[in-house]
A and B are shown apart, each in its own frame.
Chain A
Amino acid sequence: MHNHRKAESGATGRRTIALVGNPNVGKSVVFGYLTGRYVNVSNYPGTTVEVARGRLTGERNPRQRGPGRRHPSRSTHQEHQRGRGRSRGTETPAHSHTHRHRQGDWEVIDTPGVNNLIPSSEDEVVTRNILMNETPSRIIQVADAKNIRRGLLLSLQLSEMGLPYTLCLNMTDEARDRGIQIDTAALSKALGVKVVDTIATQKVGLDEVKRLTMDRTKRPHPIPVDYPAPIRKAVQELEPLLPESQLSPQAVALMLLTADETLLDWLSTRVDGTTLQVIHSIRDRTRRAFSRSMNVEITQARMRAASRLMDQVLQQRETRLTSLAQSLSRAAVHPVGGFAFVAAVLAGMYYFVGVFGAGILVDWLEEGLFGGYIIPGLTRLVETVLPWQLLRDLLVGEFGLLSMALSYSVAIVLPIVGTFFIAFGILEDSGYLPRLSVMMNRVFKVMGLNGKAVLPMVLGLGCDTMATMTTRILDSRKERLIVTLLLALGVPCSAQLGVILAMIQGISLGAAVLWFGIVLGTIFLVGYLSAKVLPGRSSDFLLEMPPLRRPLVGNIVIKTMARLEWYLREAVPLFFLGTLLLFVMDRLAILAWIEAATSPVIQSFLGLPREATAAFIMGFLRRDYGAAGLFLLAREGQLDPIQILVSLVVITLFMPCIANLFMIIKEQGWKVALGMTAFILPFAIVIGGAVNWSLRLLNGVLP
């Protein structure tokens, strides 16, 4: 065992602490505390889809690593070697020193939230594989104190695996409010692990969790679970046949009995063919003894054991909680009142993002700060410093990197995206999003989706690229494809939406309603049809609704900063790249050529001026560029109301931006991305043409 683990840690180069727990129990907050880094902490089930990894922070750690003097990856390795050498040579005296010294070599993994370690979802496979293959030397299980039974289901499985862990009973404040009292000492004794009460958002108890986790941990006590007799028998027969593993043979045997095909690959590389056959026959024979799936038999037996354990340690006082949060919680999913809630939330977002962000902030930044000072200043500077006209144009010309890319990305898009991220963060942390899913479930069913899809769709109003990445939370590939398509097709991102709203204000309310109706209708139509066309079944709507909570300002700030950092790092370079591309195309007269080539379609079919073509091409580089280009045309009086509406419909439905396309390729492969592009381009034009021609025929509909 000892040798085995050493070999493992040698292979990965460092030792790991894995955070394990149900969804929404505050794992990410604990992770942030341990690593000094923040990842998505939210109420929405399944947001921690990507596995976050970070380094355990230690007070003297950064200096000892000596950044800048050595290559970081090499230094890690050397530190590790030294750390190991020292601990082997000098036993106890240097213990505290090596202990602190080694902290930098501890990697913390935030595993996806799971309800069961018998995998039935992708997240659960990931977490189980981390426990099995990455052989973490320490595990911290975070559990929701008020939902202790579900936490204990995981504890039992960790105990059964024989992995040492520290149990962190989180949200004890909420449990207390509900009259729930847990006897930590008794629980600790029963499980044979350290149990700590915590309130992670307030950092209560986390110091102790860290301290206890770093101490040498013992193996937990095995907790008796009453498995049905055929399963017990099969486990006994399987145990001697299994290859050596970090996990206890009993745990591996039980895993094998479940319908977990992912484990078979692992097994087939470790045992010979005959043994594999014996294992298979035991498995099949045992399966036949049950009418239900073995997973359920095993989970139910564990759940009964968890309940027994819970009864021993939990005291529940009767409390009638009729707080404001609970009445709001009821109202938010009320069949009638809930929609008023939705309307209020949308209106709030409109005022904060649309009016304040896209209006006041953008005016102030773009026209005031950038238009008044920064751009003229930079232009003067460039013109005095740079003698070459080409370089001057590249920086401050019509498609200049500074005049266009910088001012668009910082003065127009940043305030809009920033306010959106704040609003979205508040929605996430308040626990409202799952309730929005409940309200929207039926509507989404029409499109072969369920209420869960509301999260990426709403996020798409902020940034389609980010939203496309978030489609991973959906359970089936069919749903991921549909949402990706709808995002690319019809959901305008916040930057684009800001400009669109500004343009619509220039025409009339009727036009706004018409635009909204056309876009929404198209989304529904395409969603409905793709649900019919794509194979596969839509997944179940089975969603946990965490309690409504007052969002903490600190958390919102950190979360918004993390997202803005993402925006600046991932999206802004694409603005520059896009602008550069435009500049080159303009110089090489490619732009003019495309304009000429497409003008029959643009001019006669859509009835738009030739210049609109440039806006559409720009729209591909950044969706909002396109809208902004049209905005300028409209402001210069070059578009009549019908033209404004047609161009808005086309630009909304048109190609996603280049960043979004890259994300689609990354998530779904280039074939799917190409297919979607091939559908969206002509489709947007056709719908635009249809709007144009029907409005021209019904002359006078638009005042």
Chain B
Amino acid sequence: MKPCLIDEILEAVWIAHEEGRPDVTDLNVECKHDVGAFDLSSALSEMEALGLLKLVEGRVEFTTEGRAKARNIIRRHRLAQRLLMDVLDVSEGESEDLACRFEHFLSEEVTDKVAAFLGHPQVDPNGRPIPPGETVPEPADFVTPLITRLSRLKVGESGRVAFLTPSFHKRFDRLAAFGINPGAVVNLHQRKPAYVVRLGETELALDPEIADEIYVRPLN
């Protein structure tokens, strides 16, 4: 069994658990990295034999070792995607594709450096949590983040929207229809009594909680 297939399956299981449906039938092992043809059920039993997974009543569970491994893969993938999208401005599709490759070979040291460079982000561009590293960073390790929340911009400052992490789908839909999408430039007009931002010729008033969920790259 190829190591990268193991990685892909661990990743799929992690995501399935995040989404709260760890059934074998729901597993979605689909990555751009070519893993060749494989049979999922035999791959799963092989991994069970390796001590990475447990199959319980049709659900896939991690062993301690499997979870630690999966956690690192997810961390590498999501940090890589943040790096590619936020810093290098690679498109979403391509960055997803590349991150799928990065997750297999980034060393732990490089991964931690990427995390520090990005200011230890909590979530990936799709709003999913990035598992923190083994060593909890000292405050001094935080560099000025390249991406910040809209709510942390200075009044009068502009930022280009990098990604959104809304707590509700509906909120995301409404923001998207107003044009608050990755790439859009917003200017913060005021904070109180409500946030007021300008986007093109549209002025929007919004709650602080919403402004917290919009991540921007400050422009000067």
Contact = CB atoms under 8 A, between A and B. Distances in A.
Interface string A539-563: 0111111110000000000000000
A115 B205 contact: no
Contacts, number: 128
Given A300-B176, A333-B205, A434-B205, A228 B93 contact: yes
Contacts of B194: 333, 438, 441-442, 451, 541
Contacts of B202: 147, 150, 544
Interface in A200-233: 228-229
B108 interface: no
A195 interface: no
B30 interface: yes
A149 B200 contact: yes
A511 interface: no
| Those 4 A-B pairs whose CB atoms lie nearest each other, nearest first | A115-B177, A116-B177, A120-B173, A335-B192
Contact of A543 (B169, B179, B200, B206): B206
Contacts of B30: 289
B178 interface: yes
A541 B171 CA distance: 10
A567 to B, nearest CB: 32
B65 interface: no
8 contacts: A120-B170, A147-B201, A299-B176, A300-B182, A303-B176, A307-B183, A441-B205, A441-B207
Given A120-B174, A295-B169, A544 B203 contact: yes
B204 interface: yes
Given A296-B169, A299-B173, A299-B177, 8 more contacts: A144-B201, A153-B179, A178-B201, A292-B127, A293-B169, A296-B176, A541-B194, A545-B204
Contacts of A335: 190, 192-193
Given A288-B28, A438-B205, A545-B196, A540 B174 contact: yes
Contacts of A437: 205
B109 to A, nearest CB: 28
B47 to A, nearest CB: 21
Contacts of B26: 288
B126 interface: yes
Instruction: Give the most central of B202, B205, B206, B210: most A CB within 10 Å.
Output: B205
Nearest to B201: A146
A133 to B, nearest CB: 22
B175 interface: yes
Contacts of A545: 196, 203-205
Interface string A136-178: 0000000010110110010000000000000000000001001
Nearest to A145: B201
Contacts of B193: 333, 335, 338, 438-439, 441-442
Instruction: Give the most central of A146, A228, A300: most B CB within 10 Å.
Output: A300
Interface of A: 115-116, 118, 120-121, 144, 146-147, 149-150, 153, 175, 178, 180, 228-229, 259, 288-289, 291-293, 295-296, 299-300, 303-304, 307, 330, 333-335, 338, 434, 437-439, 441-442, 450-451, 540-547
A120 B177 contact: yes
Contacts of B172: 292-293, 295-296
Nearest to B163: A292
A330 B192 CA distance: 12
A52 to B, nearest CB: 23
A115 B170 CA distance: 13
B173 A295 contact: yes
A693 B176 CA distance: 56
A333 B196 contact: yes
Chain B interface residue bracket vs A: 35 or more
B123 to A, nearest CB: 11
A118 B182 CA distance: 19
Contacts of B200: 146-147, 149
B204 to A, nearest CB: 6
B210 A542 contact: yes
Contacts of A121: 174
Nearest to A441: B194
B196 A540 contact: no
Contacts of A540: 168, 170-171, 174, 206-207, 210
B128 interface: yes
Contacts of A116: 173, 176-177
Nearest to A22: B177
Contacts of B190: 333-335
Interface in B157-200: 168-179, 181-183, 189-190, 192-194, 196, 200
Given A118-B173, A120-B174, A150-B178, A541 B206 contact: yes
Contact of B175 (A144, A149, A178, A542): A542
Nearest to A295: B173
Nearest to A301: B181
B126 A292 contact: yes
B26 to A, nearest CB: 8
B178 A544 contact: yes
A141 to B, nearest CB: 15
A166 B204 CA distance: 28
Contact of B207 (A292, A434, A450, A547): A450
A116 B178 CA distance: 9
Instruction: Give the most central of A289, A291, A330, A450: most B CB within 10 Å.
Output: A291
A546 B128 CA distance: 35
Instruction: Give the most central of B28, B30, B169, B210: most A CB within 10 Å.
Output: B169
Given A292-B126, A441-B193, A115 B174 contact: yes
Interface in B124-160: 126-128
Interface in B38-93: 93
A296 B173 contact: yes
A116 B127 CA distance: 23
A303 B180 CA distance: 10
Contacts of A438: 193-194, 196, 205
Instruction: Give the most central of A175, A544, A547: most B CB within 10 Å.
Output: A544
Given A118-B173, A120-B177, A299-B176, A541 B205 contact: yes
A149 B204 contact: no
B145 to A, nearest CB: 22
A303 B192 contact: no
Contacts of A149: 179, 200
Nearest to B27: A288
Given A116-B173, A147-B200, A292-B127, A543 B205 contact: yes
A101 to B, nearest CB: 41
A122 to B, nearest CB: 12
A450 B205 CA distance: 12
Nearest to A542: B206
Contacts of B128: 291
B127 to A, nearest CB: 7
A303 B182 CA distance: 10
A105 B210 CA distance: 47
B48 to A, nearest CB: 24
A150 B179 contact: yes
Contacts of A439: 193
Given A437-B205, A541-B207, A542-B210, A259 B177 contact: no
Contacts of B183: 304, 307
A180 B201 CA distance: 10
Nearest to A547: B203
A303 B207 contact: no
A221 B68 CA distance: 53
Instruction: Give the most central of B127, B128, B192: most A CB within 10 Å.
Output: B192
B205 to A, nearest CB: 5
B177 A150 contact: yes
Contacts of A259: 169
A441 B210 CA distance: 14
Contacts of A307: 183
Nearest to A543: B205
Contacts of A547: 203
Instruction: Give the most central of A175, A542, A547: most B CB within 10 Å.
Output: A542
A542 B210 CA distance: 8
